Chains A and B, each alone.
Chain A
Amino acid sequence: ETGVTQTPRHLVMGMTNKKSLKCEQHLGHNAMYWYKQSAKKPLELMFVYNFKEQTENNSVPSRFSPECPNSSHLFLHLHTLQPEDSALYLCASSQGPVDEQYFGPGTRLTVT
């Protein structure tokens, strides 16, 4: 266990659905991240939050909407996704934005 939890672990959704991914860290960290991992591609950074403020949006389509209500929780709201959005979505946290990152187990998302 890394101290970062993600729910759900698996999610199947249709293209017209709305769902949310949740991440929680129990490490007292101040920075949280969303990454996307697709087959045969390197991990792609999606969003960075530092002290609840979004500091980076890596040109992510608006059908992905992050929310960070406090330093311990991070959400990724999903709506009208495409089949190519099927991937493993990983959350991570770190003490500060340049410190060692700790990852959650990921949510395996399938868009049908």
Chain B
Amino acid sequence: KQEVTQIPAALSVPEGENLVLNCSFTDSAIYNLQWFRQDPGKGLTSLLLIQSSQREQTSGRLNASLDKSSGRSTLYIAASQPGDSATYLCAVRGTNSGYALNFGKGTSLLVTP
């Protein structure tokens, strides 16, 4: 069964810092990996989707990388802002798990002014 781990569980940084969120997964046989953002009590907002054949994807200040062979993905946030405060979730769709997205528990990010 695919296990997805996100480190750290929580992170607090001052505004303006560049930061890296980590995601690891146990089964490298994946279709794709998706990063989401979730604000308290709200649904998930898709940030980036990386296909298994890709190494990275970029959207604005966000850059996500994928190293399938080592079972790792990172989400890089440049020049963090207080509005980036949220929980960031990593989800992996494996080729051995049907259509299921397997989620990590998330990294709770707080960016202080």
Contact = CB atoms under 8 A, between A and B. Distances in A.
Nearest to A31: B99
**For the complex, would chain B's binding face be called helix, strand, loop or mixed by DSSP majority?**
strand
B68 interface: no
Contacts of B31: 98
Interface string A82-101: 00000010101000011011
Contacts of A102: 46
Interface residues of B, number: 24
A103 B43 contact: yes
B99 A50 contact: yes
Nearest to B90: A42
Given A2-B45, A101-B46, A103-B45, A40 B105 contact: yes
Contact of B99 (A55, A88, A103, A104): A55
A56 B98 contact: yes
Interface of B: 4, 31-32, 34, 36, 41-46, 49, 89, 91, 93, 98-106
